[in-house]
Structure 1
Amino acid sequence: MIEHKTFPNAPITEALLDVRARLPVQTTLADLAAFQDHIRDRFPETKERKFFRADFKLGPEPSALVSASGSDGYFFECSKEKKIVQARLDGFTFNKLKPYENWESFRSEARELWALYFKIANPTKVTRIALRYINRIEVPLPMKDFKEYFLTSPEVAPELPQGVAHFFMRLVIPNDDIGAIAVITQTMEEPTADGKLPLILDIDVWQKTEYEGENAKMWDEFEKLRIFKNDVFFNTTTDKAKELFE
């Protein structure tokens, strides 16, 4: 296993650890609201999580729109420390916004919170686990080529004008060794006032699972997802990009 370097100024703007789960049919929003009783001192703010779903029916007749909306869980937030816990009827998510300290502290808190969620929601099966890291890399202008910073980058046909005002690129890469998928999204934002171009590298790695009950193996699989995520990051960014994180 390759141990990648840790940077003092890592470009991570948000890290998410997500667990999708099936809950008993009798589980209610009131049950999920009780989750905060165990974490109110750390996550004092509460918001309902809203959803909206629209479905089109295809067929010889004109399509009909079937829609549904409502609440499917809660956000429990600590604005001061920029942390959010999502307790939902379909699972659990722990979000940590910038500043991100390290994987060990992030994983440890997520695992503790998941254990509390598990006691409250009593999921019957875990169907999917995921890690998502959103990186914002500010590169100095002028910049001649995206390849200065990204080894995977948009390429314009040589006979076309070479200027790029915007791009959005999405790759889906399977890792058969661990049965996981990486969804890599790259894009750019408007230049900043101090002459820098923000490049976004969004890495979402996930794995389908069939865990029943509290299963420690899930955290072993999260370690594999983390290694996969790091491999994507370090093999996508150039040495010149990494110098910006020192």
Structure 2
Amino acid sequence: IKAKLPDGVGLNIFDEFQENIKDRFKDRKTKRSFQAVFSLSPGKDESTPITPKDKIEGYLFHSKNENKIVQARLDGFTFNKLRPYEDWNKFHSEARELWELYNKIIKPISVDRIALRYINRIEIPLPFDDFSEYILTNPQIAPGLPQTLSHFLMRIEIPNDEIGAIAIITLTMQKPTETQKLPLIFDIDVIKTDSNTEKRSDMWNDFNLLRHFKNEIFFNSITEKTKELFK
């Protein structure tokens, strides 16, 4: 959730937020951003570096077993769930509870964007003839070229005008594992930027719509052979 905070809000406001979640999210880590700018002047062959900026954006609060992370930042809120995954309703409910606490304490003046992101790691058994055996959204090589891939990175953006959202799909692969499997990373990021800031409770229904859109993309992109890998 990307939000705009009132002017003058400082990092110390997150101390109260931490106090309310410390029983579940005890470990706090600083989230930083780093920016370096170079300027190139006419008539000069070399760029002039400007002093790099190291900025604290907020904090990451980790659960005791490290599989849940709450990000409370000066530009918004994020709830991450790592393996093992759980029921959507349970995840949705906990995310909403934590956001409402953030909203109560931090008091953002607007919500500018909401997003739901799933990073799927699919281990494909080696050898196989074609990616289309497992995933229907895949890189295609011209017939006249060698058909072996050592690596690929593919990005696709699909709009959904019906719900006012866009999906950013990123596909890539990692090095084969020792057990002769090829990890395929299928990253689906669904984003809605026209959230109704007057009715913030409605955005939780929007998250359900984003999840439905994500599921359409995922299940229409994989084959029955891939589904067998999850059993």
Normalising by the smaller structure, the TM-score range is over 0.9
2:35 to 40, 43, 53: 53
Shift of 1:245: 1.1
Counterpart amino acid of 1:232?
A: I
Q: In structure 2, list runs of 5 or more residues that go unmatched.
A: none
Within 1, Cα distance between the matches of 2:43 and 2:223? Answer: 54
Within 2, Cα distance between the matches of 1:51 and 1:214? Answer: 31
Shift of 1:54: 3.0
Counterpart amino acid of 2:131?
A: F
Give the structure-2-normalised TM-score. 0.93
Counterpart amino acid of 1:28?
A: G
1:33·1:74 contact (CA, 8 Å) conserved in 2?
no
Structure ranking higher on relative contact order (CA contacts 8 Å, 6+ apart)? 1
Point out the more displaced range, 60-69 or 35-44.
60-69
Counterpart check, 1:125 vs 2:110? yes
- Name 2:73's counterpart in structure 1: 88
Q: In structure 1, list runs of 5 or more residues that go unmatched.
A: 1-18
2:11 to 22, 26, 29: 29
- Name 2:24's counterpart in structure 1: 42
Within 2, Cα distance between the matches of 1:94 and 1:157? Answer: 41
Within 2, Cα distance between the matches of 1:61 and 1:242? Answer: 60
2:71·2:77 contact (CA, 8 Å) conserved in 1?
yes
User: What RMSD over aligned residues (CA atoms) do the two structures have, in Å?
Assistant: 1.6
- Name 1:7's counterpart in structure 2: none
2:164·2:194 contact (CA, 8 Å) conserved in 1?
no
Within 1, Cα distance between the matches of 2:31 and 2:66? Answer: 20
- Name 1:198's counterpart in structure 2: 183
Counterpart amino acid of 1:99?
A: P
2:24·2:64 contact (CA, 8 Å) conserved in 1?
no
Within 1, Cα distance between the matches of 2:43 and 2:209? Answer: 48
Shift of 1:169: 0.6
Shift of 1:32: 1.5
- Name 1:12's counterpart in structure 2: none
Point out the more displaced range, 99-108 or 57-66.
57-66
- Name 2:139's counterpart in structure 1: 154
Within 1, Cα distance between the matches of 2:196 and 2:20? Answer: 25
Within 2, Cα distance between the matches of 1:72 and 1:187? Answer: 29
How many residues are treated as equivalent by the alignment? 228
Within 1, Cα distance between the matches of 2:157 and 2:90? Answer: 29
Counterpart amino acid of 1:148?
A: E
- Name 1:5's counterpart in structure 2: none
Within 2, Cα distance between the matches of 1:107 and 1:117? Answer: 15
Shift of 1:69: 1.5
Q: 1:61 to 1:24 in 2, by over 3 A?
A: farther
1:101-126 per-residue CA deviation (whole Å, 9 max, x = no partner) reads: 12111101000000001111100000
Aligned-pair identity in percent equals 55
1:72·1:89 contact (CA, 8 Å) conserved in 2?
yes
Shift of 1:60: 4.3
Counterpart amino acid of 1:41?
A: D
